[in-house]
């Protein structure tokens, strides 16, 4: 089956903005849930809710057979693409702001390009190599400006939270290359749904071992329901529609929009503070991300 070409007449801009707004809000809702549920239960219930939401779509579209055939590889991707990253972010959001975590999340294309270069021999152009260098320099400076790793210092927990975010983005990049190498031709909705199921299985026992200390409030439950249905289930559907209507290159640029919404939500609703380091080095990271992913290019004059 030949991939469909993006429809140049499609009105994809509205869905693009909606997707950025939805994914930006995921940091807020995860923060609200994690404070009461704890990191592992929050991550586990999130993927479980998303699984329940997405599975009927797979059945309705008649895609259960590919899921049954390739479930082992898809479940493995689920831990790389959802299980481990969601657990990392829920831990991080207990110690750093939603704005900072969303900026670090924007490094996903950086790790994706680097891993594809090393593993898949997808050699980038000189401009994309420059982008990798710029992006990772921004990450380094932002991380160094936030905290240190001396265990007897109060800022050490913040540093480990930053490292948890970068571990999550590394897993995202690794899962992208694994998917490209081993799951080519499988409908994206099947991969998305199976990955949530795999993450649910993988996180089930850890979530039972470290349960919440007390029964969470209705607010925490509502936040988890929103992050599972809206920020995971609905967002996946919007993302696949965006790939079809605008193409993967434009869909990728939603990474630039997510931190804008996440920072705005954090400032308005949580009273978080935006530091000069976050603005300055965050801009450097986004510039490097744009160059390394091929979204930003230099055109030579004829």
On whether residue 94 sits in a domain, the answer given is yes
- Structure tokens given for 192: 């998305």
* Among 16, 13, 11, 12, residue whose Cα is nearest residue 258: 16
CB-based contact 143:159 (threshold 8 Å): yes
Positions of the chain with pLDDT lower than 70, given as ranges = 1-11, 143-156, 243-244, 246-253, 292-302
Domain count, the chain: 1
Residue 5 lies in a domain: no
* Residue 296: predicted pLDDT: 66
Domain of residue 77: give its range.
13-293
Cα–Cα dist 192/45, whole Å: 16
Asked if residue 266 belongs to a domain, the reply is yes
pLDDT at 191: 86
Structure tokens at 259: 């931190």
299 occurs within a structural domain:
no
With respect to residue 7, please indicate whether it lies within any of the assigned structural domains: no
CB 85 within 8 A of CB 171: yes
Provide CB contacts within 8 A for 144, sequence distance 6+: none
What are the pLDDT digits (tens) for 76-115? Answer: 989 998 899 999 999 999 988 888 888 888 888 778 878 8
Classify residue 33: in a domain, yes or no.
Answer: yes
Spatial separation of the C-alpha atoms in residues 137 and 159, rounded to whole Å: 17
Which DSSP string corresponds to 9-62? T---HHHHHHHHHHHHHHHHHHHHHHHHH-HHHHHHHHHHHHHHHHHHHHHHTT
CA 157, 145, 169, 133 dihedral sign is negative
> Is residue 255 in a domain?
yes
4 falls within a domain: no
Q: How far apart are the first and last CA of the chain?
A: 37
């Amino acid at each position: 089956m030949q991939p469909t070409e993006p429809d140049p007449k499609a009105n994809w801009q509205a869905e693009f903005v909606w997707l950025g707004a939805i994914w930006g809000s995921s940091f807020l809702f995860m923060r609200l849930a994690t404070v009461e549920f704890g990191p592992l239960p929050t991550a586990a219930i999130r993927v479980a809710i998303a699984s329940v939401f997405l599975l009927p779509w797979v059945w309705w579209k008649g895609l259960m057979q590919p899921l049954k055939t390739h479930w082992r590889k898809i479940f493995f991707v689920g831990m790389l693409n959802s299980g481990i990253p969601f657990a990392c972010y829920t831990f991080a959001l207990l110690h750093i702001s939603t704005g900072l975590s969303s900026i670090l999340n924007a490094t996903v294309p950086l790790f994706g390009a680097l891993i594809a270069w090393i593993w898949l021999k997808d050699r980038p152009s000189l401009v994309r190599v420059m982008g990798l260098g710029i992006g990772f320099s921004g990450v380094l400076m932002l991380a160094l400006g936030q905290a240190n790793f001396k265990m007897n210092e109060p800022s050490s927990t913040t540093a480990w939270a930053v490292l948890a975010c970068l571990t999550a983005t590394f897993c995202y990049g690794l899962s992208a290359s694994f998917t490209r190498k081993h799951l080519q031709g499988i409908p994206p909705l099947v991969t998305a749904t199976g990955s949530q199921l795999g993450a649910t299985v993988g996180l089930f026992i850890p979530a039972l071992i470290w349960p919440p200390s007390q029964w969470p409030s209705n607010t925490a439950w509502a936040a988890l329901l929103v992050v599972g249905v809206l920020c995971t289930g609905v967002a996946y559907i919007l993302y696949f529609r965006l790939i079809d209507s605008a193409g993967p290159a434009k869909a990728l640029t939603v990474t630039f929009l997510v931190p804008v919404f996440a920072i705005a939500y954090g400032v308005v609703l949580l009273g978080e503070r935006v530091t000069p380091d976050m603005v300055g080095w965050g801009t450097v990271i986004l510039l490097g991300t744009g160059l390394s992913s091929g979204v930003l290019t230099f055109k030579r004059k004829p």
